[in-house]
């Protein structure tokens, strides 16, 4: 029986354990012109030898004209050096490193941001190419993979959701069409990635469990190697959690998807301790347990829990 310390292999990438550092934007460690500050690079480097199986970076913009305030990017070759530095330190210590890729400026419940329905087909194609180029930069930097950010009501989540996507062209309508952009991005990455470069997808929950499962299966079918399940659209979805269930709704959603899909699943949100993550993996609820605040608060979290 697998536990949180059991190695797991996906493609040609071996993870020494199932402990994941979840992506967290460090607004206090600002960047300039999309380039990580030395302090932000050190934030990752200092955790490279702390027994974490996989570190996923904060979301990196794929578009030079769209940055999170004070955030970093992966859209040009000027980002390769610092990403390579982090990847090298991680690999030296047996930790895998992914970059999370996203497009800032879109959030479904924020009316001050852009609407995916107003983007032209040409703009959608440019965004597609930007995601692919950013992933290729990450590959050149020696990363072990990328995670496409399709959760938390942001860009790819908006495009994929029937609630937010009202397009009538190739990028809207049926579930398959709403995921057409993601399919194009994954296919473009797979053209150069090889089996030693993972494509993960941070999936936001859908309107109900049936759509969660169909979404996961669709992503698996299009070539996504692993899923990181988190919150999505609608943000106020109600879950009927089992009595005395000791975890949050996002963990429950991940566990239900795990039962009905064939690719590895990362569960996240207030798992809090290694023991609680271990229980989830031993019970077959997920393949990886992700931690945010614990690893932010204490870089030695894994070794003292």
pLDDT in tens, the chain (305 residues): 899 999 999 999 999 999 999 999 888 887 888 889 999 999 999 999 999 999 999 999 999 988 776 689 999 999 999 999 999 999 999 999 999 999 999 999 999 999 999 999 999 999 999 999 999 999 999 999 999 999 999 999 999 999 999 999 999 999 999 999 999 999 999 999 999 999 999 999 999 999 999 999 999 999 999 999 999 999 999 999 999 999 999 999 999 999 999 999 999 999 999 999 999 999 999 999 999 999 999 999 998 76
Considering the domain boundaries, does residue 1 fall inside one?
no
Residue 215 counted as domain residue: yes
> Number of structural domains, the chain?
1
- Tell me the β-bridge partners of 21: 55, 291
Q: Is residue 196 part of a domain?
A: yes
List pLDDT tens digits, range 244-262. Answer: 999 999 999 999 999 999 9
* 186 located within any domain: yes
d(CA 171, CA 177): 5
The count of C-alpha atoms lying within 13 angstroms of the C-alpha of 272, restricted to the half-sphere facing its C-beta, is: 5
Q: Looking at the domain assignment, is residue 3 inside a domain?
A: no
Identify the domain containing residue 72 by its residue range. Answer: 8-304
* CA 143, chain centre distance (Å): 14
Q: Cβ of 105: how many Cβ atoms within 10 Å?
A: 17
pLDDT at 70: 67
The string of pLDDT tens digits covering residues 103-113 is: 999 999 999 99
Q: Identify whether 175 is part of a domain.
A: yes
Among residues 75, 224, 80, the alpha carbon closest in space to that of 147 is found at 224
What is the maximal distance between C-alpha atoms in the chain? 53
* Cβ atoms 67, 104 nearer than 8 A: yes
End-to-end CA distance of the chain: 21
Q: Is residue 133 part of a domain?
A: yes
**CB atoms near residue 89 (< 10 Å):** 20
> In the chain, which residue ranges form alpha helices assigned H by DSSP?
38-45, 80-92, 121-140, 155-160, 175-178, 180-193, 209-221, 249-258, 274-282, 293-297, 301-304
Asked if residue 19 lies in contact with residue 291, where contact means CB atoms within 8 angstroms, the answer is yes
Asked if the structure places residue 59 within a domain, the reply is: yes
Whole-number Å distance between alpha carbons of 278 and 142: 29
What CATH number has the domain bearing residue 55?
3.20.20.70
Q: Is the dihedral of CA 247, 249, 251, 252 positive or negative?
A: positive
């Amino acid at each position: 029986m697998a536990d949180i310390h059991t190695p797991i292999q996906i493609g040609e990438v071996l993870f020494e354990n199932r402990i994941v550092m979840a992506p967290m934007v460090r607004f206090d460690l600002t960047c300039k012109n999309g380039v990580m500050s030395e302090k932000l690079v050190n934030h990752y480097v200092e955790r490279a030898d702390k027994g974490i199986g996989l570190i996923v970076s904060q979301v990196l913009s794929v578009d030079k004209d769209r940055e999170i305030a004070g955030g970093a990017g992966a859209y040009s070759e000027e980002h390769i050096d610092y990403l390579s530095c982090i990847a090298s330190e991680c690999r030296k210590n047996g930790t895998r490193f992914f970059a999370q890729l996203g497009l800032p400026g879109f959030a479904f419940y924020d009316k001050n941001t852009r609407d995916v329905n107003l983007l032209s087909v040409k703009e959608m194609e440019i965004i597609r190419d930007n995601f692919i180029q950013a992933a290729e930069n990450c590959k050149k930097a020696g990363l072990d993979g990328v995670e496409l950010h399709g959760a938390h009501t942001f860009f790819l989540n908006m495009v994929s959701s029937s609630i937010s996507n009202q397009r009538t062209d190739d990028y809207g309508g049926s579930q398959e069409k709403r995921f057409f952009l993601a399919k194009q991005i994954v296919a473009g990455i797979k053209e150069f990635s090889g089996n030693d470069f993972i494509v993960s997808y941070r999936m936001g929950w859908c309107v109900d469990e049936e759509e969660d499962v169909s979404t996961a299966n669709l992503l698996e079918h299009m070539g996504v190697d692993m899923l990181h399940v988190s919150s999505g659209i609608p943000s106020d979805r109600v879950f009927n959690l089992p009595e005395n269930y000791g975890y949050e709704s996002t963990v429950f959603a991940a566990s239900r998807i795990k039962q009905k899909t064939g690719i590895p699943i990362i569960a996240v949100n207030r798992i809090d301790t290694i023991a609680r993550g271990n229980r989830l993996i031993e019970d077959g609820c997920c393949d990886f347990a992700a931690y945010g605040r614990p690893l932010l608060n204490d870089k030695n979290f894994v070794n003292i829990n």
